[in-house]
Structure 1
């Protein structure tokens, strides 16, 4: 190992320890990742990895936290030109430092008692998450539609000052006395819930807290880190630049199926930190149906179908290109062709299937109409993703996990022409474009060290970064330190 590599690793380790110390750093813009589930006071369940400190499952309050630090780098790669929003062709490395403190309270359990059936059927959670985000992503999180680190805030000028990530009320209304086990975590405090129930959430939240969940492809802290693997890249879900918004969701859960709806605030500008509170003119609507039925006999599986419609002050790629070709605009600029209450709609499919007790495969497919500008998540209008994870029980490491995934992303013709003529999105813009699908392979091995501490090594290979066949390919190795408190 060369001197420069040693220096990189040393800096990363120091940064990781600094991040973990105050309990105040971990989650990401699109974050919906709960910490590893906590044990019962006396002994943890056999299939649960404990946190660094024991947590109660019987009290009406909840306190937890997590810290996540990711080091990513890449060497120099082929690039005949660069633009304002390009992934930098010179070698670079960056460290992200992120963390969250989770707080929760079940107020009616204080009065009814933890063992009350009524309290279980009609449970109320008050949830607060305080988050801080520091460090950077490679090239300031620019130049890749499927960016390599979900923990990176897409506007580095916001700084690392702590902020409230979630502030919500979660109400459960049961329709039966039959109960089923529920894993206690920062988004739901009950340990048992009615089999048939209505769940309502309102306040500040992340839209993927409720929608598009996947046990293989949703956790950037213990699994994959890429934006287009941990979420459906074509789902331009309502969020500010940190990945949060205000809204409400309504969800009905039955034994083998569920349906859910969400109404969220959209940002005032693409990738903006400010939200538009005029719901009549600007909103994100999501609906999802879930069927818990697998393709293999006797093996668990789940399928989800998602649809969304965003209404916001968004620009038209076609109008921006036409204005440029007419000579009206010196370069294509989508912000000059915005319309009040413009719409973007799309669909997604999400599945996971247990193959053996240790192996689970998963996939996502997504599409949106691509007429209006990418506004809240990333610049993807079609995506196809397959992945798998394998638990380490076979080699005596039950809390270890290895994963591999392939994601292929695309944009429509109007968006292609906009970038080819020198236009800028909020993530992409090389100044020119020889279009090709952005193809990403990511793998990882997540090693459970002790209690709630983990170390992961992984990497990505990216063909056509930013959809540009003139640039790349790029290798991005990754190291991650994660702690659950």
Structure 2
């Protein structure tokens, strides 16, 4: 395990909080659900916020004991290890004019995911970036402008939170967001499974695993998105820069390689309880490699198989569906399913061509802990026949690659967590995941993965 960094303790001390919990005093969601940070106050109404500061700190330690590992490749999950991550984020927002908001999110990160964030397509911690470092480092993860244009309808209040100024807005509105932010801030949101700082940790629970969204190695991109709200419907479209190389640290700057996204959402009520349905499409355009081309070239030359050797400009498509439904005051259900073109390599997210998940989140009112939450999700991830053949021939993907794959199988993941709210904005979570056939390999695992998460926010 990497050593705990004094950064977290320092953040707590500055906030005047005990060191045994991460700093800060009020819960905020960094990954914006549709009804909050993905939309914005339009600056009208009584006393709209003109300026706001919020912050968060999250510490995760995750471990896996021994499991079957008869052989290993460069991207294999290894048994008997523990790793930690910590991130501290400041959310600073300003309203320069009516309907406008400017936000910056400087963040300090430190730590590593299990096996340096390798070995499982549905990786077990979305708090672990693809870039791990022993020493804390500072990055400006988001800097963006949001403009909201009222189009009529009734008025509704908007509470201030991270990346959202409080005020009021029209139910019918146009929202434009431009700059550097996360594709997941706008697309494929879900009230019960979209925030690794507050709910599920697994990558393929936080987002549809097949949604190969544009991002640098930290999960952010530059681009523009538009949202049109009309009654119970919302239409979203966006254009974002892909990274310069797959899974890379540097983004394209002029849409030389890019992603186009579109999403339609319908909000509804059933027996007075809210729910939503979303369908999301993506189109990636850039230099990608086909698995069959890589297999053919390796057979001809005898060289190690690698999609990098056959990359050319082409298009990769995918679609995902996303549903959530509240059932009473305490219970919420959610589901996702997605598929992407499995003949072409995934680029910026992870090695998943098709995925499905079903889960629930239950508040603790029944045991007199109304603010606590229990979450449970079951996930199955899969890849195409060509993708399996590529890995079997020794190919390496974004996150997976055991050097061979004689006995392929679907990757099954079960995750459950209990979130204990000690006080407003101070939380401790216990998380357990069972990963069957990690990296689609029936020779490996199953892996039992446990985690403790400390989160504080104001």
- TM alignment of 1:391-470, pairs within 5 A: 391-433=363-405, 434-470=407-443
Structure 1: 5+ residue runs without aligned partners? 1-7, 39-56, 109-118
Matched, 1:226 2:202: yes
Provide the secondary structure at the position in 2 that maps to 1:96. Answer: strand
The equivalent residue for 1:150 is 126
The equivalent residue for 1:17 is 9
Q: TM-score, normalised by structure 1?
A: 0.85
Task: Tell whether the 8 Å contact from 1:166 to 1:204 is kept in structure 2 after alignment.
Answer: yes
- Residues 324-381 of structure 1 show CA distances to partners (whole Å, capped at 9, x for unaligned) of 222x1422111101003x2110000000011121000000001001222111011111
Task: Tell whether the 8 Å contact from 2:49 to 2:165 is kept in structure 1 after alignment.
Answer: no
Per the TM alignment, residue 20 of structure 1 is displaced from its structure 2 partner at its CA by 4.5
The structure where strand makes up a greater share of residues is: 2
Task: Tell whether the 8 Å contact from 1:31 to 1:208 is kept in structure 2 after alignment.
Answer: no
Task: Tell whether the 8 Å contact from 1:263 to 1:286 is kept in structure 2 after alignment.
Answer: yes
- Residues 48-105 of structure 1 show CA distances to partners (whole Å, capped at 9, x for unaligned) of xxxxxxxxx853101010000001101111111000110013x000111112100000
Q: 1:432 to 1:31 in 2, by over 3 A?
A: farther
Q: Which one of 46, 49, 60 corresponds to residue 70 of structure 1?
A: 60
The equivalent residue for 1:313 is 287
What's the Cα RMSD here?
A: 2.4
Task: Tell whether the 8 Å contact from 2:48 to 2:168 is kept in structure 1 after alignment.
Answer: no
Matched, 1:84 2:83: no
Task: Tell whether the 8 Å contact from 2:110 to 2:133 is kept in structure 1 after alignment.
Answer: no
Structure 2: 5+ residue runs without aligned partners? 16-21, 38-46
Q: 1:422 to 1:25 in 2, by over 3 A?
A: farther
Task: Tell whether the 8 Å contact from 1:16 to 1:481 is kept in structure 2 after alignment.
Answer: no
Per the TM alignment, residue 19 of structure 1 is displaced from its structure 2 partner at its CA by 6.1
In the aligned structure 2, how far is the partner of 1:431 from the partner of 1:107? 54
Q: 1:230 to 1:249 in 2, by over 3 A?
A: same
Task: Tell whether the 8 Å contact from 2:75 to 2:400 is kept in structure 1 after alignment.
Answer: yes
The equivalent residue for 1:333 is 306
Task: Tell whether the 8 Å contact from 1:25 to 1:97 is kept in structure 2 after alignment.
Answer: no
Per the TM alignment, residue 243 of structure 1 is displaced from its structure 2 partner at its CA by 0.6
Task: Tell whether the 8 Å contact from 1:19 to 1:69 is kept in structure 2 after alignment.
Answer: no
In the aligned structure 1, how far is the partner of 2:445 from the partner of 2:348? 26
- Residues 120-141 of structure 1 show CA distances to partners (whole Å, capped at 9, x for unaligned) of xxx1001110012101111111
Per the TM alignment, residue 255 of structure 1 is displaced from its structure 2 partner at its CA by 2.3
In the aligned structure 2, how far is the partner of 1:82 from the partner of 1:444? 29
- TM alignment of 1:145-294, pairs within 5 A: 145-156=121-132, 160-176=136-152, 178-279=154-255, 281-294=256-269
Q: Which one of 440, 452, 456 corresponds to residue 479 of structure 1?
A: 452
In the aligned structure 1, how far is the partner of 2:335 from the partner of 2:8? 32
Per the TM alignment, residue 297 of structure 1 is displaced from its structure 2 partner at its CA by 3.3
In the aligned structure 2, how far is the partner of 1:368 from the partner of 1:426? 15
The equivalent residue for 1:97 is 86
Q: TM-score, normalised by structure 2?
A: 0.90
